[in-house]
Amino acid sequence: MTSKTVDGKVIVVTGAGRGIGREIAMLAAAEGAKVVVNDLGGSAEGEGADKGVADQVVDEIRKAGGIAVSNGDSVADPQGAERIIQTAVENFGRIDCVVNNAGILRDRIFHRMSAVDFDAVIKVHLYGAFYMSKAAAPYFKEQESGSFVHFTSTSGLIGNFGQANYAAAKLGIVGLSKSIALDMARFKVRSNCVSPFAWSRLIGTIPTDTPEQKARVERMQNTMTASKIAPICVFLASDLSQDVTGQIFTVRKDEIFLMSQSRPIRVAHKDGGWTPQAIADTMLPAFKSSFYGLDRSADIFNWDPL
């Protein structure tokens, strides 16, 4: 009999009522975890609430022989995040992994983006990841074990149109994850990021105004399913990843990429210091060939998924 990779572990998955979160919760339960299925049950833009969305996933897990409970709190509320973690502790006695998957989209071209739209997305993604991680951290510290799996995006890692709020939040999550990994390594706590390519309700808001956009969305619908993202998340929740922390992984269909992190690539030195004109005359021509273009995610990942 094959052993289950997260047998007996208690895993919280936020935004687990639909899409990627649902697939993570389902696989974690199938692999032996006791799962807290958290979902506010709101719209793709974060409006409304329906706890029945989380309850339905719990019913599916239980029918398949797994163990799960639901929670309908918002990750964007610090007290809500505390209640989500308490749901795990009160029902299952501990917490072993937090998957920070919950998210919303409010895409707007930058000059039309309101402060409300920026704030709402930052609150759910970046503040939500912080609130959830902060609520779980004391338990992880005390037991000297635990894993955080945070969701980032190539929108922040590389770039995309109309997503300044989302990109800022997702790149902020990378910094948050690395800081957690550094600060909590002494307690054997791990923190990693996953950047998914998958068809989901949020991706369904991508415009399809051109033939190229339509073709891209069709490829995502047909090949890059949400279930493809779940295995790496369950791996990172398991003891199989005990030596993996502070990393960023991208998953696209059957491909897994280890993403780079910011490091110096060129250096220029001038005895006595620089003037603006000296920078233009010396530094600029030396560095220019290494400048990054205004690339978008689709420009870098420009081949069909394997």
User: What pLDDT score was predicted for residue 212?
Assistant: 72
Which position among 127, 131, 139, 166 bears the catalytic label? 166
User: What confidence score (pLDDT) does residue 189 get?
Assistant: 98
Residue 207 has pLDDT above 70, yes or no: no
pLDDT at 149: 98
- State residue 51's pLDDT score: 83
> What pLDDT was estimated at residue 202?
53
Q: Is the pLDDT of residue 259 over 90?
A: yes
Lowest mean pLDDT among 6-10, 28-32, 265-269, 302-306: 302-306
Q: Across residues 59-84, what is the average pLDDT?
A: 98
What average pLDDT does range 220-238 have in this prediction?
89
Average pLDDT of every residue of the chain? 93
Residue 84: per-residue pLDDT: 98
Q: Are 202 and 103 in contact (CB under 8 A)?
A: yes
Region 206-223 average pLDDT:
68
Does 222 have pLDDT greater than 70? no
pTM of model > 0.85: yes
Model confidence at 183, in pLDDT bands (50, 70, 90)? very high
Which is more confident, 214 or 114?
A: 114
- Confidence bin at 180 (pLDDT 50/70/90): very high
Residue 210: its pLDDT value, please? Answer: 74
pLDDT of residue 17: 96
Residue 209 has pLDDT above 80, yes or no: no
Q: What is the model's pLDDT at position 220?
A: 64
Looking at domain 10-258, its CATH architecture is 3-Layer(aba) Sandwich (3.40)
Q: Who has greater pLDDT, 41 or 1?
A: 41
Quick check: 140 pLDDT over 70? yes
At residue 273, the pLDDT reads: 97
- pLDDT over threshold 60, residue 59: yes
Taking 90 as the threshold, does the pLDDT of residue 205 lie above it? no
Distance CA 7, CA 38 (A): 20
Residues contacting residue 267 through CB under 8 Å, at least 6 positions apart: none
Q: Indicate whether 213 pLDDT > 70.
A: no
Euclidean distance between CA atoms 196 and 259, whole angstroms? 12
Please compute the mean of the pLDDT values over residues 33-56 and round it to a whole number: 89
6-43 pLDDT per residue, tens = 999 999 999 999 999 999 999 999 999 999 999 998 88
Q: Rounded mean pLDDT of 147-162?
A: 96
Would you call 166 a catalytic residue per the annotation? yes
